[in-house]
């Protein structure tokens, strides 16, 4: 199956009411582990990189980093029989977004969600025009993701306004949208009970009718936290979005579920376990084996949970 446009994957998910996980990578090993999970579950895959990942992979040069990722992902995609797309996550700097487009990413996110509504719309329109001209699809974000403490949305969090979402989608022509409904990035999402604004999500779906994205969607997998902590990590107080809540958001119209933290935690759990049990090994291909195995397990479980297993 060739390297595909992200919309090819998301259109189908949107029509059939399931979601595809989008997994963040920074290097080859995470990509290999994710592909392993996708093949095992016969699922389409969206691979994504942050601007930071582009800079990291390119040794300070984002365009070079973008090319590294495109070459890696294309090379696997072209010889695999599941659809695979490459997406730029949280593009905030036009130079990075243009570099991703130039390098051949399947889609880009323009994240101007910290700007006033009109400015967010303007920036999104500009990127949509450039990206669509070369067959690249675009994600934007409305509302702001921040921390939630004791179920009180913190001062910086602004949940999406559904009427604004409708206007935004109509005027910008954006392909898929991330509405803020109460999640946050990282491993410490909720202090009390996990809670998202389902009504708001439902309204955004009804009013926009396009694929929707859930950011900050890691579950903070307890099994991985326990393994990591058994071998020296301290992830006290970590909490993610429970599986039942993720399933509910998929029923209400989420089609892309961004996942980074869960993979990072799985990798570190495996790495710590291996290094604890083998003090002599120094070949990275061997000491990363358990880490990759745990990443693949988290990937496979997530693809199954979100309903994309068997959809490739």
Number of shown-chain residues binding ligand G3H (CB under 6 A): 8
Is 217 a binding residue for ligand 13P by CB under 6 A? The answer is yes
Task: Look at strands 137-142 and 176-179 and give their pairing.
Answer: parallel
Interactions with ligand G3H, residue window 122-181 (CB under 6 A): none
Q: Would you call 89 a catalytic residue per the annotation?
A: yes
Residue placing its CB nearer to ligand 13P in the complex, 163 or 215: 215
Applying CB under 6 A, which of residues 65, 91, 216, 307 lies at the interface with ligand 13P? 216
Does 24 help bind ligand 13P (rule: CB under 6 A)? yes
Contact positions with ligand G3H (CB under 6 A) in 65-94: 89-90
Give Cβ neighbours of residue 198 (< 8 Å, ≥ 6 apart).
181, 248, 249, 252
> Does residue 26 interact with ligand 13P by CB under 6 A?
no
Kindly identify the residues of this chain, within the stretch 98-127, that bind ligand 13P according to CB under 6 A. Answer: none
184 makes contact with ligand G3H (CB under 6 A): no
Can residue 50 be called a binding residue for ligand G3H (CB under 6 A)? yes
Among 12, 186, 198, 251, binds ligand 13P (CB under 6 A): 186
Q: How far is the CB of 36 from ligand 13P (least distance, A)?
A: 19
| Candidates 49-57, 96-104, 153-161, 198-206; binding stretch for ligand G3H (CB under 6 A) | 49-57
Q: How far is CA 62 from CA 5, 12, 94, 102, 131, in A?
A: 21, 31, 12, 11, 18
Residue 104 touching ligand G3H (CB under 6 A): no
* Distance of closest approach, residue 230 Cβ to ligand 13P, in angstroms: 22
Q: By CB under 6 A, which span of 52-60, 199-207, 254-262, 266-274 interacts with ligand 13P? A: 254-262
Q: Say which of 8, 78, 89, 234 is annotated catalytic.
A: 89
CA distance 207 to 230: 47
Residue 52 as a binder of ligand G3H (CB under 6 A): the answer is yes
The whole-angstrom separation of Cα 26 and Cα 116 is 31
The site partner of 52 among ligand G3H, Zn ion, ligand 13P, none (C-beta below 5 to 8 Å per kind) is ligand G3H
CB atoms closer than 10 angstroms to residue 1: 13
Strands 152-153 and 148-149: antiparallel
Stretch that binds ligand 13P, among 158-166, 193-201, 203-211, 212-220 (CB under 6 A): 212-220
Catalytic amino acids? 89
* Binding interface with ligand G3H (CB under 6 A): 24, 50, 52-53, 89-90, 185, 260
* Binding interface with ligand 13P (CB under 6 A): 24, 89-90, 185-186, 215-218, 258-262
């Amino acid at each position: 199956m060739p390297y595909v446009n992200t919309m090819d994957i998301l259109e189908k998910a949107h029509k059939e009411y399931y979601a595809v996980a989008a997994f963040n990578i920074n290097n080859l090993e995470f990509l290999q582990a994710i592909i392993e999970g996708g093949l095992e579950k016969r699922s389409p895959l969206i691979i994504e990189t942050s601007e930071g990942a582009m800079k990291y992979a390119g040794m300070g040069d984002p365009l070079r980093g973008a090319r590294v990722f495109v070459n890696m992902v294309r090379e696997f995609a072209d010889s695999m029989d599941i659809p695979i797309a490459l997406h730029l996550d949280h593009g905030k700097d036009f130079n990075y977004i243009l570099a991703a487009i130039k390098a051949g990413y399947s889609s880009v996110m323009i994240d101007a969600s910290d700007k006033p509504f009109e400015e967010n719309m303007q920036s999104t329109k500009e990127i949509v025009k450039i990206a669509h001209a070369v067959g690249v699809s675009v994600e934007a974000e409305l509302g702001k993701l921040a921390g939630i403490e004791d179920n009180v949305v913190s001062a910086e969090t602004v949940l999406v306004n559904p009427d604004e979402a409708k206007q935004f989608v109509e005027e910008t022509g954006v392909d898929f949208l991330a509405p803020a409904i109460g999640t946050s990035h990282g491993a410490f999402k909720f202090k009390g009970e996990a809670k998202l604004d389902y009504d708001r999500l439902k309204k955004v779906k009804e009013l926009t009718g396009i694929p929707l994205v859930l950011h900050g969607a890691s579950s903070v997998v307890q099994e991985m936290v326990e393994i990591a902590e058994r071998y020296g990590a301290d992830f006290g107080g970590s909490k993610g979005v429970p599986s039942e809540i993720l399933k509910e958001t998929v029923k209400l119209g989420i089609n892309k579920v961004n996942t980074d933290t869960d993979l990072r935690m799985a990798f570190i759990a495996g790495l710590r376990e291996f290094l604890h049990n083998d003090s002599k090994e120094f070949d990275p291909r061997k000491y990363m084996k358990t880490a990759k195995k745990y990443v693949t397990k988290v990937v496979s479980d997530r693809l199954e949970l979100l309903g994309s297993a068997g959809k490739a």
